[in-house]
Amino acid sequence: MRGKMRTRIIGTGSCLPETVVTNDDLSKMMDTSDEWISSRTGIRERRLVKEETTAGMSVTAARRAMENAGVSAQEIDLIIVGTITGDYVTPSVACEVQAAIGADRATAFDINAACSGFMFALFIADAYLKTGIYKTALILGAETLSKIMDWNDRSTCVLFGDGAGAAVVRSDETGILAYDQGSDGTKGMVLTCRNRKNNNPFVSNSTEPSYTHMDGQEVYKFAVTTVPDSIKEVVEEAGLSIGDIDYFALHQANIRIIRSVAKRLNVSEDKFPTSLEHCGNISAASVPILLDEMNGKGLLKPGMKIVLSGFGGGLTWGSAVVEW
């Protein structure tokens, strides 16, 4: 008889576009400064696509994660991509990844949970794996946010970047020890990007694309209250205390949010690794890119307890305690 099976992250990968755009580069294009951006957000530069696509970056991140995990395309049962910026409405990014890597046994689909997209995809995979329907899954967060920014709106466009992160997960004896997720649709309008408007022979609307709008202070208030509560809840559910956690890998929205969460949990900021200095906020891709950077630096050792936490548009949030 097998013991309790869990969903374990066995490999990570990521891909950033080539073009580096610094705060100084932006200050030549608009009325902003390195001082304003870095003091309020911690962001110093971000990568933006030129020829790269959401699917193309996802494929590279996926291949790196599979290589890191030692898993072949034939072993993958499920591919889920958290994204709000797929290249096509259909096919999904996940189906494009499936075709490119040749994972022809896999079921593939995207989900929209904005900045919580990777966490929600992980929890969906966990549910499939726990039922025994599937054994091995490829989970991604991937975004080309630069295409949904209004580059005349300095209050939003300086915050975001492009990129993709991936993880291979498999049923194992350890892995996700506990998770918490939630949504509050009543606050959804504090962070929006409208889809196409109704347009048919009976109604006429502009087909101009819409861009991202944000009430930054409302998002800040939401994040600094919901995230610490969610983390406390998962840590307790895992039968651990905050002091047992080796690292907290949070969505990389803003250094001030991360510092505030650290303070509210009474944990040293050293336990909160960051990538936002060189990536900006990449929505669903933030958590898996950060995790891959931690993995690449050799920070993650078997048996360590790591908290992952995503939060953002919807509004949505999701946290997990994983044993590495």
Give the binding site for ligand ACO (CB under 6 A): 32, 36-37, 40-41, 115, 154-155, 158-159, 191, 214, 216-217, 219-220, 223, 253-254, 256-257, 281, 311-312
Element (H, E) at 154: helix 154-157
Residue 214 Cβ, how far from ligand ACO at the closest point, in Å?
6
- Taking the least distance from each CB to ligand ACO, the nearer of 37 and 121 is 37
Question: Which residues touch 39 (CB under 8 Å, ≥6 apart)?
Answer: none
Residue number of the CB closest to ligand ACO reads 216
* 23, 68, 254, 281: the active-site residue: 281
Element (H, E) at 34: helix 34-41
Residue 119 Cβ, how far from ligand ACO at the closest point, in Å?
12
115 counts as catalytic: yes
Token code pair at residue 51 = 């020829």
Return d(Cα 137, Cα 171) in angstroms, integer.
9
* 15, 23, 157, 251: the active-site residue: 251
Residue 165 Cβ, how far from ligand ACO at the closest point, in Å?
15
Q: Are 92 and 81 in contact (CB under 8 A)?
A: yes
Q: Are 84 and 29 in contact (CB under 8 A)?
A: no
Residue 61 Cβ, how far from ligand ACO at the closest point, in Å?
19
Say whether 191 sits in a helix, a strand or coil: strand
- Taking the least distance from each CB to ligand ACO, the nearer of 60 and 281 is 281
- Taking the least distance from each CB to ligand ACO, the nearer of 9 and 287 is 287
CA within 13 Å, CB half, 256: 11
Residue 154 Cβ, how far from ligand ACO at the closest point, in Å?
4
Identify the DSSP state of 203. Answer: B
In this structure, how many other beta carbons lie within 10 angstroms of the beta carbon of residue 44? 16
Length of the chain: 324
- Taking the least distance from each CB to ligand ACO, the nearer of 137 and 190 is 190
Residue 4 Cβ, how far from ligand ACO at the closest point, in Å?
33
15 counts as catalytic: no
* 15, 115, 193, 279: the active-site residue: 115
Return d(Cα 213, Cα 195) in angstroms, integer.
13
- Taking the least distance from each CB to ligand ACO, the nearer of 107 and 112 is 112
- Taking the least distance from each CB to ligand ACO, the nearer of 8 and 251 is 251
In this structure, how many other beta carbons lie within 10 angstroms of the beta carbon of residue 29? 12
213 counts as catalytic: no
Tokens 């969505």 belong to residue? 251
Please list the active-site residues: 115, 251, 281
